[in-house]
Structure 1
């Protein structure tokens, strides 16, 4: 049961940090993100031990708060590592120069964050209805469908605005290469089992091999 609780806390932390852009003074390199993740995992391990001990004394409220804070930090740097891998692959696949990458990726990250928020708002309402212990009226289901339709339309409008902005930064050919790279990256992530260190290390290599 305790392992289940810890798994839920980690999952919650990853979800929380995928919902917002992480404000940083600079983009982390892979080695920097991995070093910070290692420190965060050590902090989480200590917080988990403290929480286990507090269950015996009935003082788990304070330690649970610390555990959640530590798990959010782990989630933050796991997300950063994922973003570094994705940026590296998109950059290589689209053959972006240093100048192009520096100008393109801030807007690309903005787009991804906006699309997630739009999707998440609609999806949260659907989950609320499906988890409701009270009877849900047809009108509420209709409203959820309408909200989903609005989200799809809003996503299309936001994508249009950003794709037009991308065309002012990159040649159209490179944007098409980025579209293809996104699809290939997503496919590989679906095949990669989370939590396997070897899989994470070989992710980019398998994508590079696919490119050949």
Structure 2
């Protein structure tokens, strides 16, 4: 017990020393100054946004607290959106859609036929895959891209931009849905699939008429 009391006394002695209290005061002053700068920036922003409002009313505790809360919520929403967007982009840039030589050996018409069979069986995930491979191999047949197992959708998109920007934009939307279904484990709804199918058929154009 004596040792415990000695440790306690020593700790109290350290905390009461001038060096420690000065350091604590400096740290407190830093955060206080930072908070005051943040409040001043917010007030200045509100003055620009609402010129008719008086500065004293802006400084009122409840109003300032509400404004800060709203701004923090908006920042949080923006961060969540940014993170999700970056994650989708990473998926889009890193995954390779072709998994075997058999998929390359098939013509785009064969993939369309298989997509129709899978759709009739209500197997929309494999149907989505075959629809996507159909458009990819269609562009390969037109020599707009060079289909290879090691390539990603981002690389195909960059190749398409060099020869046909409109088709590149169509491919970008088609590939994004394909990635979400294939790598994001998204359950495909019939209306989503139908919309996806329409986009693929539009990109194929006269080749399927």
Shorter-chain TM-score category? under 0.3
Larger Rg: 2
Structure showing greater relative contact order (alpha-carbon pairs closer than 8 Å, 6 or more residues apart) = 1
